[in-house]
Amino acid sequence: MNKRQTRRTLYPRHESRRSGRLRVSDIHEIYWEESGNPDGVPVVALHGGPGGGSNPEMRRFFDPTRYRIFLFDQRGCGRSTPHSELRENTTWDLVDDMETLREHVGVDQWVVFGGSWGSTLSLAYAVTHTERVLGVVLRGVFLVSKAEISWFYQSGASRLFPDSYDRYVAPIPEDERGDLLNAFHKRLIGSDKNARIEAARAWARWEGETLSIKGPVTTPPRFNEDDFVDAFARIECHYFVNRGFFAHDSWLLEECERKLKDVPGMIVHGRYDVVTPLSTAWTLSKAWPKAQLHIIPDAGHSSMEPGIVDHLIQATDDLAEMFGPAKKG
């Protein structure tokens, strides 16, 4: 049988059962939703970016008969308000928001699921509130280190995507290209609206064009939408200039090694992931012995690569077996 035919696919589309808005600060209000089985294993799925917002396809990584599925839009993006707001918007604010949401919906413990920046936030939450975590599923691991940011946002990834890289750096004058992160940051937080949106488009499309192993032809449509790219680029750049708001470059990795010894984890990573190279997931797996690392030989960064989908579904099915009642039927 052909390998592709044996791969698991996303669960069928299903609607949320309830949704709401939650005031988390004087400034911010976040959108959240719940779907699946109200008696199922609780799971919170964290979107990427930061600034990417959740989408209905994220529900489909979980068996809706066995999981109680929570999604939310992180501060400043998606349906959360105010849009593109950087004040009171840090990793630790988002970790607090997860706890506020968990208490609001009456969940004692949950599985934490996240890809790309969602993996960063998953780990930050897990090392802070370890007692609330049943297990962790990660895709495209990213620890917001200086090396990772330099690789993707400075020049490393340009060797594989030179065409996309030229479009990425186009808004930045040549004499500022020695520090692209800060050059973009200056424009994304500046008062010149035209420069801001031009920079946001370039920043977001760079990531959109490099997500998949197939390259720019598979860029998701929202990476060409001005409303999306403004929040996405501004919030990402804000977090990366501040190095994820972590104490030092290896803080998160060290905390994982110290805090997650007894937490089951499953890591899925494409071998040809250009956005978040495999070396980070490899290093994390060595520091976290209870985490199983699955390297997908024909995948990049996108959660929708067939091999990535296959192994993420296997991971969530395995945790449903571990923490939930036996499947009926």
What string of H, E and C letters represents the secondary structure of the chain?
Answer: CCHHHHCCCCCCCCCCCEEEEEECCCCCEEEEEEEECCCCEEEEEECCCCCCCCCHHHHHHCCCCCEEEEEECCCCCCCCECCCCCCCCCHHHHHHHHHHHHHHHCCCCEEEEEECHHHHHHHHHHHHCHHHEEEEEEECCCCCCHHHHHHHHCCHHHHCCHHHHHHHHCCCCHHHHHHHHHHHHHHHCCCCHHHHHHHHHHHHHHHHHHCCCCHHHHCCHHHHCHHHHHHHHHHHHHHHHCHHHCCCCCHHHHHHHHHCCCCCEEEEEECCCCCCCHHHHHHHHHHCCCEEEEEECCCCCCCCCHHHHHHHHHHHHHHHHHHCCCCCC
273, 285, 294, 310: which one is catalytic? 273
What CATH code is carried by the domain that includes residue 123? 3.40.50.1820
Q: What are 71-125's pLDDT values in tens digits? A: 999 999 999 999 999 999 999 999 999 999 999 999 999 999 999 999 999 999 9
Does the annotation mark 273 as catalytic? yes
Instruction: Please give the tally of structural domains in the chain.
Output: 2
Same domain for 218 and 83: no
80, 116, 145, 164: which one is catalytic? 116
Percentage of residues in the chain having pLDDT higher than 70: 97
Domain assignment present for 328: no
State the pLDDT confidence band at 5, using cuts at 50, 70 and 90.
low
Average pLDDT (296-309) is 97
Query: Residue 6's pLDDT is what?
Result: 85
Range of the domain at 128: 3-143+248-323
Residue 266 has pLDDT above 50, yes or no: yes
Does the annotation mark 116 as catalytic? yes
Does the annotation mark 301 as catalytic? yes
Domain assignment present for 189: yes
Model-level pTM?
A: 0.96
Q: What are 37-84's pLDDT values in tens digits? A: 999 999 999 999 999 999 999 999 999 999 999 999 999 999 999 999
**Taking all residues of the chain, what is their mean pLDDT, rounded to a whole number?**
96
Same domain for 263 and 121: yes
